[in-house]
Amino acid sequence: MSGFAIRPQYVHRFALTISVVFLLVLSAAPDLRAEPTDPAPENGRLLVYLLDHQMVSRQEMAAIQQEINSIFEDQAGVQIEWFIDASPRRRLEINELRVLILASDGTRWFHGPSNVIGLAPHDESGIGRNCFIFYRQALWFRQQAVLRCREAALARTQAEASGVEPGMAGEAIAPASCSDYLPELTPMIVARAAAHEMVHILLNKLDHSPTGLMRESFELQEWLAASLEPFRLLPEEIAALRSRLGVVSAVADGS
Ligand SMILES: [Zn+2]
């Protein structure tokens, strides 16, 4: 690595420090506006300021945005206006959010290892506006999926070699098509974790739902199959999002 290659990283780290300090100040500031009295925005759009401290590739950034769009727009009819690496330095409105992709694994936040991928701190009034995604956790999660997929392939090969009907040998571990989902898995994990945190904030929802995107945690198996079912919003969550953001347009067919 040349010195020129290293320099931007310092600049980047500096920018991260600034924004974290800024966020702490924001969350510590007394909030005099009670959430229920905030009127819904008129145009029904959601403005997302995506701050990428991981410096993901353009392709990965596009995949992240596309998946978040598909959750909000296809399922709930909520259109997102994106701002990449830009954020106003003021208190955000109810139809605005910051999503920060951090290079960290969150260890410092949790004072030790954890399985948390995303975090949406609420301030005293319950209206935080920042979703933090720990990119290294998404990488770790993907690595677990790779291991699971390899284990399944091995079980199939061994079954075949010993003349046993492959049958459920690998299927119970992971579907035969699991490797199809591995290349896109990291941005998928980042996007769904971000969407989950975004809903927490938009609905001022501190608890979790029994099924769908707003569950407390996802199963590894679910990432290795085509079904979107485990990552769907519940009808009541969709209704609440639409009302919160003043969405009047019809929902696209998200089936
Ligand atoms: Zn949650």
Q: Ligand 1 centroid to 29 CA: how many Å?
A: 24
Q: Ligand 1 centroid to 217 CA: how many Å?
A: 8
Q: Ligand 1 centroid to 212 CA: how many Å?
A: 11
Q: Ligand 1 centroid to 109 CA: how many Å?
A: 16
Q: Ligand 1 centroid to 154 CA: how many Å?
A: 34
Domain residue ranges in the chain: 3-28+39-136+180-245
pLDDT for residue 127: 63
Q: Report the C-alpha dihedral over residues 202, 70, 88, 120, rounded to 10 degrees.
A: 40
Min mean pLDDT across 16-25, 44-53, 110-119 is at 16-25
Q: Ligand 1 centroid to 72 CA: how many Å?
A: 16
Residues 20-33, mean pLDDT to the nearest whole number: 35
Q: Which CATH class is domain 3-28+39-136+180-245?
A: alpha beta
**Per-residue pLDDT tens over the stretch 188-215:** 999 999 999 999 999 999 899 999 999 9
Q: Which token pair is 77?
A: 């009819």
Q: How many residues does the chain have?
A: 255
Report the candidate in 187, 55, 197 with the shortest Cα–Cα distance to residue 116: 197
Q: Ligand 1 centroid to 196 CA: how many Å?
A: 6
Give the predicted TM-score (pTM) of the model: 0.81
pLDDT for residue 10: 33
